[in-house]
Structure formats: C-alpha cells, structure tokens
Amino acid sequence: VRLEESGGGLVQAGDSLRLSCAPSSITFTHYNVGWWRQAPGKEREFVAGISWSATNVRYAESVKGRFTVSRDNVKNIVSLQMNTLKTEDTAVYYCAADQDYYYPDYVPRNSLEYAYWGQGTQVTVSP
C-alpha cells in the first residue's frame, strides 16, 4: 500500500492550503486516516484524523478551528484544508492509514497504530 500526499507549498502567514492523500492499490473505505507533521528538530506529531466511517474527526489543539479533515470515499481521497496558516505550521506533512472494520468512530492518535505512511509533502509558511 502506498500513500501519496499532494498540495504542499510555500505560502505566507494567513494563507490557506489544501493537502490531499490518495492511496495506490487500495480503496480508503475501511481505513482510518491521519495527518501528521514533523518540523525540523522536532518529533512527528498528530495533526488531524478521520475515522473510516467519517463519523468522527480529531484535531491537535494547535490546529483546531483552522484545519479541517475530510474524506471522499467515492474519489478515494482524504483532504486536509488548512486555513489561517502560521509560521509554526511549517513542517513536512504526512498522511497515514490503518485498516479498520470494527470501530467506526475510532481515530487513532498514536503513530504506532498506523500501518501505512506517505512520503510527506513540505508546507512552508513565511511571515
């Protein structure tokens, strides 16, 4: 299973970006999907996640009210809409997925719970 992120780039503080995550060789229907990020010199951190049923979403406190995670199981894609970007949002953003058939409302927040990871996309926010 390979995940591919897209949509990163260089923007100014206050701007918006929309990241997308698409898988190869699978459909996302029964996969919880999370967005993570890693800034230089820092550990990878959870940003947002959505359950496979789309009935539950979770956000890190630092992005609540600014970021929105969504999924389109017809298009087989999960998106992260990032508004009012701040310089501290600068990082490599990764999507991750894990198969789940049993818990429609569960959103993993531990990186060890995700079996599949993308290569990441760089988001740089300038002052």
List pLDDT tens digits, range 49-73.
999 999 999 999 999 999 999 999 8
DSSP 30: G
In the chain, beta strands by DSSP E: 2-6, 9-12, 17-24, 31-38, 45-50, 57-59, 67-72, 77-82, 91-99, 116-117, 121-126
pLDDT (0 to 100) of residue 119: 97
pLDDT (0 to 100) of residue 29: 87
User: Using CA atoms, how far apart are residues 18 and 109, in angstroms rounded to an integer?
Assistant: 21
How big is the CA angle at 51 (ends 46 and 53), to the nearest 5 degrees?
165
pLDDT digits (tens, 9 = 90+) for 105-115: 999 999 999 99
> Hey, what are 22's tokens?
């698409």
- The residues of the chain scoring below 70 in pLDDT are none
Q: How far apart are the first and last CA of the chain?
A: 37
pLDDT (0 to 100) of residue 26: 84
pLDDT (0 to 100) of residue 1: 83
pLDDT (0 to 100) of residue 125: 98
pLDDT (0 to 100) of residue 81: 98
